[in-house]
A and B are shown apart, each in its own frame.
Chain A
Amino acid sequence: MNQQIIMLDEPAEDDLFGDTTIGMESRRQYKVEIPAQILNYLGQIIREEVRSMEERIMQRIELLEQRIIKSKESDANSEEVILLRSLSREQAKEEIMELLDKSDKLYYRDIAEALRLDLEQVVEIVKELEAEGKVGEAE
């Protein structure tokens, strides 16, 4: 027979082993006899449970690592930078006109993105083209 110290809610008075403090809580300890077979069995259950917990934690870590990698990849893709071109006003005007000739209708944003031009420059040039009667607002 193995003897272990464990805590019980309602032990017999003569089994009192001593007092102990866990955190802020003071508990009394009592002597209890536990058969070796049961102790071995409990040990086995605890080892299996710990192994299972380790596996679950490792799986969770792997999953989180994959998510971090995916998140970094998507951030890298979304941070693609478009370099604006520096064109003379006449050159930009000509390219905008050519682009509009090829399309049904385009927004300022579409033109700025397609030709990699500054938005304000596009707006000013389109206003000029409107004044010259070369372009107009589409339906």
Chain B
Amino acid sequence: MVATHYDKGEGIKGDKITVQCRDYHFGKPIKGTSRDKLQRGSLEGTVYCVIDKPIRSLRKKVQHID
């Protein structure tokens, strides 16, 4: 089963989060403590987020040998 969180105030953290929503707003870049710049924004309307990951097929590929 896929664990989905609905409660307000809960956080989601990951290196790559894929989202689907009706609208989004992002502000100016923020200079954080690290060298990388950050950006803060909000997603609105029927938002769905998932911590993305690379997926591969485990089915054995059939090789045709002539």
Contacts and interface: CB of A to CB of B under 8 A. Distances in A.
A101 interface: yes
B2 A137 contact: no
Contacts of B53: 107-108, 137-138
B39 interface: no
A124 B52 CA distance: 13
Q: Chain B interface: which size bin?
A: 10 to 19
B20 A136 contact: no
Interface stretch (A17-25, A54-62, A72-80, A127-135): A127-135
Contacts of A111: 55
A136 B58 contact: yes
A105 B54 CA distance: 6
Contacts of A127: 1-2
A139 B53 CA distance: 9
A120 B52 contact: no
Given A100-B56, A126-B55, A108 B61 contact: no
A107 B2 contact: no
A127 B55 CA distance: 10
A97 B19 CA distance: 22
Interface in A91-139: 97, 100-101, 103-109, 111-112, 118-120, 123-124, 126-127, 133-139
Contact of A136 (B1, B56, B61): B56
A105 B58 contact: no
Contact of A107 (B1, B52, B59, B61): B52
A120 B4 CA distance: 10
A119 B57 contact: no
19 contacts: A97-B57, A101-B61, A105-B54, A105-B55, A106-B55, A108-B53, A109-B52, A119-B48, A124-B2, A127-B1, A127-B2, A133-B58, A135-B55, A135-B58, A136-B58, A137-B54, A137-B55, A137-B56, A138-B55
